[in-house]
Amino acid sequence: MTGYLYEKDLRQMKYNILTSTKHDEAVRAIARRLGTSDAKLRMVLIRQFDMSLLENLESRWEMGQQHADNDNDPVAEELGCELFTRFVPLVDARVMQTICDETRAMIGNESSRDEAIARGKARVREAVLS
Amino acid sequence: MSILQDIKNAVRSRSIHVAYVDVGSCNGCDIEVLACLAPRYDIEQYGIYVHNNPREADILLVIGSVTPQWVDKLRDIWEKIPEPKVAVAIGNCPISGCVYARRGTLTTPPVENYIPIAAQVPGCPPRPTEILNAILSVAPLIYKDYEEKQR
Amino acid sequence: MKKTVDVSIPLGPVHPCWKEPVRLKCETAGERVLRTEVELGYMKKGIERIMRGRPWQEVMFLAERVCGICSVIHNMVFIEAMEEISAIAVPPRAAYLRVVVNELDRMASHILANFSYCYTIEHETLAMYLLNTRETVLDNLERITGSRINTAYMIPGGVRFDLLPEDAAAMLADLREVEDKMRRYTGIFETGPLIALRSKGIGVMSREEAIRAHTVGPTARASGVEDSDLRLRHPTYRELGFTQVTRTEGDNFARIMVRFQEVFQSIDLIRKCIETLPEGPIRGGGLCRAGEVSYGGEAPRGELTYSIKTDEYGRVVDIAIRTPSIMNIEACAHSMIRDVTSIADVTSTFISSDPCIACNER
């Protein structure tokens, strides 16, 4: 049995957390960065994150913009490799690494850089929303 | 008046187990309850033992106005306390909601809507001595001749 | 969150070690904790929603009821943010008195945090010693402000009550006593072999993790994050020559020791304030105006930020409070508790980060 005793539906409370002024701004910024709608991202956040992580979303996002270094790799930078795995843990680290490597390989092969980055971003979005 | 009841009265007057539950306050009252533990007030000289286990408690101190998570759980906690039991409201929050009872709040005071309250200690927060005094005055009223009264 | 194993141990919301209700759900393999999930909502009062559209005279009292333990700093940051918006100057005597009250509150809070840690690792003797010392500190707080917990001491342009010379003398005498006692207790904590077994090397958080989660206050300082004290930027503290305490271990022991050291620092600051207390008025004048500001101050638990927007009558149109516990609890649950070897260490590690749920949820 994996269910907890005294469990309550937390969705409304999580939504309350996400809709306070600063958190709403952070959610909108993340949605813009990922290129998805706010409502969809909110749904994912409510499903995946626990309440403490939701409360801390805003400061984690802020720190991610300041400190995510990505080892001076422009591809990882644009896909938000470190940002979405360690600062705002929306994507599994291994999945992110595969996406990153394959995007880099695509750039090395034949297709144009912009196209490869766009496809990489789409895959990150997919990984987040799945 | 049976001898058994006399013994029970004597034992109960010097052994009061207290559990406190915070149902959404600013935790100012929490730390005043904790301050009662300090050797200055020395709550244990009256035989009062503060811990946080409802299953062996005699008195439940309720602190705070009621937040969404507590709406159903407060009743659960109250039912887990063995008889005879009594609930004391500490601070303004369980009585009226204090500063939180405004438009837009998430709390739903008063606590009386959820569990029966025997005594109230107003104050924001009340002093530790007042809390101590309330516990000491309400306990004998409830526990004295409890079994006799039940009959 | 997604589940990885079957064995889940919930702790709380009513738990003997916790002063406030919170629920930790630990997923364990044997006794080793793999991951922890925090369930909140037990203290969500929606105070930011209540504050909106109210005049500052009301919000001032609401602000200190965000958290009872560190009520002075909530009051101070809100008032200083209002002063920043409306360009109100504070008389030097009032600025010094603010530091005195704030440091007394910090001492009370730190001693309480160390009390709960000692209580959690079942060193009840030291815990009771500390709790009794805290009463002396609260007496002094009451001597200045007239109240133990929610003081409402500061107002825009100054403070409410002056510090009389005889009160100052009594306070210095009390502080000497507190310092002597705290030296002894720090020695007990530092050298106790059983305390070391329960504290050293447990709940370690590296510097990188601390930065990633934006931890603040003693929790960050124990992990060796430099420049993590906003008092370094506060003008009055700069005048007093404040320096930051930093340790590098990042375990439970370091976090408690940072708090002990900061208590001594606070005592020194109060002494310096009282010795060099300037003469003059304690209340200036001013009018609260429209504006928008994000202002931070150092609470006992770390950086506290108020983002306020007011209209021309001094009413608060929009407000967002970022309290230190938000970051610290998150970092604690997801970094420190992740690899502790026993369930018994979960509670002590959680308490060592000085969690304040009322702050966290507002």
Q: How far apart are CA C232 and CA C221, in angstroms?
A: 13
Which tens digit of pLDDT belongs to each residue from C165-182?
888 889 899 999 999 999
Q: How far apart are CA C345 and CA C353, in angstroms?
A: 13
Neighbouring C-beta atoms of residue C168, cutoff 10 Å? 18
Give the pLDDT of residue A110: 66
Which tens digit of pLDDT belongs to each residue from C179-194?
999 999 999 888 888 8
Contact B104 C52 (CB under 8 A): yes
From chain A, the residues in CB contact with B72 under 8 A are 8
Residue C3 in domain: no
Give residues 105 to 124 of B whose Cβ lies within 8 Å of A.
106
Residue C14 in domain: no
B50 SS3 class: strand
Query: CATH assignment of B16-144?
Result: 3.40.50.12280
Which tens digit of pLDDT belongs to each residue from B43-83?
888 888 887 888 888 888 888 888 888 888 888 888 888 88
Q: Are residues A93 and A63 in the same domain?
A: no
Q: How far apart are CA C354 and CA C218, in angstroms?
A: 9
In terms of CA atoms, which chain C residue is nearest residue A16?
C46
Question: What is the average per-residue pLDDT within C142-159?
Answer: 86
Give the pLDDT of residue A1: 41
CB of C18 within 8 Å of a chain B CB? The answer is yes
> Which chains sit next to C, with 3 or more Cβ pairs under 8 A?
A, B
Shortest Cα distance, chain B CAs vs residue A19, angstroms = 14
pLDDT band, very low/low/confident/very high, at C7 (cuts 50, 70, 90) = low
Give the pLDDT of residue C334: 81
From chain A, the residues in CB contact with C212 under 8 A are 60, 63, 67, 86-87
Structural domain boundaries, residue C240? 46-361
Residue C36 in domain: no
The domain limits of chain B are: 16-144
Give the pLDDT of residue C212: 79
Q: How far apart are CA B125 and CA A81, in angstroms?
A: 49
Shortest Cα distance, chain B CAs vs residue A9, angstroms = 9
Q: Are residues A52 and A83 in the same domain?
A: no
Q: Are residues A109 and A93 in the same domain?
A: yes
Nearest by Cα to B50 from C100, A100, C16, A108: C16
Work out how many domains chain C is built from and give that number: 1
Q: How far apart are CA C119 and CA C125, in angstroms?
A: 9
Q: What percent of chain C has pLDDT over 90?
A: 4
B47 SS3 class: coil
From chain C, the residues in CB contact with B52 under 8 A are 14-18
Q: Which residue in B51, B105, B125 is closest to C50 by CB distance?
A: B105
From chain B, the residues in CB contact with C42 under 8 A are 22-24, 67, 69-70
| Sequence-separated (6 or more) residues with CB below 8 Å from residue C200 | C249, C251, C252, C253
Contact A50 C39 (CB under 8 A): yes
Shortest Cα distance, chain A CAs vs residue B74, angstroms = 11
Res A50 pLDDT > 70: yes
Query: What is the longest distance spanned by two Cα atoms in chain C?
Result: 67
Question: Which of A21, A51, A67 is where one domain is finished?
Answer: A67
CB of A125 within 8 Å of a chain C CB? The answer is no
Res C324 pLDDT > 70: yes
Shortest Cα distance, chain C CAs vs residue A15, angstroms = 11
Q: Which residue in C3, C41, C320 is closest to A51 by CB distance?
A: C41
Neighbouring C-beta atoms of residue C340, cutoff 10 Å? 23
Give the pLDDT of residue A4: 57
- The chain-wide mean pLDDT, for chain A, equals 78
Could you tell me the end-to-end alpha-carbon distance of chain B, in angstroms, rounded to an integer? 12
Contact A103, A116 (CB under 8 A): yes
Residue A79 in domain: yes
Residue C286 in domain: yes
Joined tokens for residue A1: 């049995």
In terms of CA atoms, which chain B residue is nearest residue A9?
B69
Question: What is the average per-residue pLDDT within C27-45?
Answer: 82
pLDDT band, very low/low/confident/very high, at C68 (cuts 50, 70, 90) = confident
Res C2 pLDDT > 70: no
CB pairs B-C closer than 8 Å: 129
Residue C270 in domain: yes
Q: Which residue in B31, B37, B38 is closest to C68 by CB distance?
A: B31
Give the pLDDT of residue C4: 56
Q: Are strands C23-29 and C8-11 parallel, antiparallel or unpaired?
A: antiparallel
pLDDT band, very low/low/confident/very high, at A70 (cuts 50, 70, 90) = low
Give the residue, B134 or A127, on which the prediction is more confident: B134
Joined tokens for residue B24: 């959404």
Q: Which residue in A6, A12, A13 is closest to B73 by CB distance?
A: A6
Residue A27 in domain: yes
Joined tokens for residue B29: 């009252």
Shortest Cα distance, chain A CAs vs residue B72, angstroms = 9
Res A69 pLDDT > 70: no
pLDDT band, very low/low/confident/very high, at C3 (cuts 50, 70, 90) = low
Please compute, for residue A41, the number of CA atoms within 13 A of its CA located in the half-sphere on the CB side: 26
Q: How far apart are CA A38 and CA A29, in angstroms?
A: 9
Give the pLDDT of residue B47: 84
Please compute, for residue B4, the number of CA atoms within 13 A of its CA located in the half-sphere on the CB side: 3
Q: Are residues A119 and A96 in the same domain?
A: yes
From chain A, the residues in CB contact with C296 under 8 A are none
Q: How far apart are CA A124 and CA A121, in angstroms?
A: 5
Question: Which of A48, A67, A86 is where one domain is finished?
Answer: A67
Which tens digit of pLDDT belongs to each residue from B57-66?
888 888 888 8
Give the pLDDT of residue C23: 84
Structural domain boundaries, residue A90? 69-130
Nearest by Cα to C255 from C118, C136, C57, C143: C118
Work out how many domains chain A is built from and give that number: 2
Res A5 pLDDT > 80: no
Q: Are residues A73 and A125 in the same domain?
A: yes
Q: Are residues A74 and A62 in the same domain?
A: no
